[in-house]
Amino acid sequence: MNDAHNGKLIGQANDISSLVEKQKRFFSEGRTLSLEFRKEQLSRLKAAVKTYEQEILDALYADLNKAADEAFMTEIGLLYTEINEAIKRLRKWAKPKKVRTPLLFFGAKSYIMPEPYGTVLVIAPWNYPFQLAIAPIIGAIAAGNTVIVKPSELTPRVSAVLAKLFKSAFDPAFAAAVEGDVEASRALLAQPFDYIFFTGSVAVGRTVMESAAKRLIPVTLELGGKSPCIVHRDANLKLAAKRIAYGKLMNAGQTCVAPDYLLVHEAVKAEFVKALKDAFREFYGDNPIESERYGKIVNERHFDRVIGYLEGGGTVAHGGRYDRGKLKIEPTLIENVTWEQPVMQDEIFGPILPILTYDRIDEVINAVNERPKPLALYLFTADGAIERDVLGRISFGGGCVNDTLMHLGTSNLPFGGVGESGMGSYHGKFSFDTFSHRKSVLKQTTRFDLAMRYPSDKSRIGLL
């Protein structure tokens, strides 16, 4: 590292430190405690997203080749719904909640007061670079925090729009975006934040938690992993194929909750694979690499990582072609796969779908339970007993029966992982709860007192 680089890093760290200080001061002035203030900031956020909508879509196309309709649905539309809900329900969410008090404390009242943590840090990944930067912030603002977001450096166009949007909408002492790479992230993690919300890989999640532990900063970790997709023999195969192809190929497989691999009942494998190939063709034609609508891999490093799986064993049953210049890889099915091959060891994060088969559902349950708890799980079946067995015996973050991805689309369901796929959750009211400390208060009466609660040499029963 040369002196100029060192100097730049020190300069950035100083800027970050003074920004955090400003935000802490802003928070301590108590301005974010007003619900009107929070609603006003949420409205500003919504207006700013609207103003920059076209620039956001252009940036998503440049960084990831996201088609405008897909980008709107997965990166922008969802945010409007979340902001509207937060504005509409904020009063109710923020109201102290009265709870029962045991008879022992006769005369007292108990309630839970949600209070903001203070100044929070949101670190975002590149795969849904706009949505995953803004969605947590909605909860952070609704709950009354000040917030700094660090967008991913791998999607620079989106990162630049985010920075512009924040500058135009907010006083940086309240909400700001800090652009930059791992160094910026590290400099931020060294600051005395009151809460850290991280979305990204398991490995970096671990680093974030380690650094937060030094200051005992609470964290939410939205991580990844391998999400299984089970197709039972009684499933509606055509429908299952379409819904799985949709979930796998969105953003070229670079979705944290994409079906990572398939577990298909032996008896229906051939028919299901045919239906899956038909669905791939229906969505992106015979030459998906040339399709304007088909996403690209974010950069060469990830491209090389993903095509590496093609060499790692198994038989390509469909697709397998790629174009490094365009960073595109065809929707690809791999058969004859074993659990030991690289494609079954790491999260694939690309349009490659390995297929394993099973005979009894117990085999599936045991195999999944032997591995880290998945972020998502998908099951296609019409059999209630199979559904109960799988949902009851496998631990996973969230998922769908007879669909993929859709559990993310409803703010009534908390979204998050478990075990290695993460901790904590958000969306809708769950976002507000994530960014709020629940302060417990017991308010005692002064109208009377119970003598028996105090130490005494004599036995004293009754009222004072």
Applying CB under 6 A, which residues contact ligand NAD?
123-127, 132, 150, 152-153, 181-182, 185-186, 189, 199-201, 204, 207, 222-224, 256, 347, 349, 375, 417, 422
39 vs 186 by CB, closer to ligand NAD: 186
Shortest reach from residue 127's CB to ligand NAD, in Å: 5
| Catalytic-residue membership of 222 | yes
Shortest reach from residue 48's CB to ligand NAD, in Å: 21
CB 202 within 8 A of CB 398: no
182 vs 382 by CB, closer to ligand NAD: 182
Shortest reach from residue 152's CB to ligand NAD, in Å: 4
Shortest reach from residue 419's CB to ligand NAD, in Å: 12
* R_g (Cα) of the chain, nearest Å: 25
| Catalytic-residue membership of 335 | no
Q: Which of 229, 256, 400, 420 is catalytic?
A: 256
320 vs 372 by CB, closer to ligand NAD: 372
Give the neighbor-by-neighbor strand order of the sheet with 436-443. 97-99, 109-116, 436-443
Shortest reach from residue 224's CB to ligand NAD, in Å: 2
Q: Which residue is nearest to ligand NAD (CB)?
A: 224
51 vs 207 by CB, closer to ligand NAD: 207
Shortest reach from residue 114's CB to ligand NAD, in Å: 23
314 vs 424 by CB, closer to ligand NAD: 424
Q: Which of 82, 85, 222, 330 is catalytic?
A: 222
**Separation between Cα atoms, residue 283 and residue 163, nearest integer Å:** 34
Task: Give me the sign of the Cα torsion angle 368, 415, 122, 71.
Answer: positive
33 vs 182 by CB, closer to ligand NAD: 182
Residues belonging to the active site? 222, 256
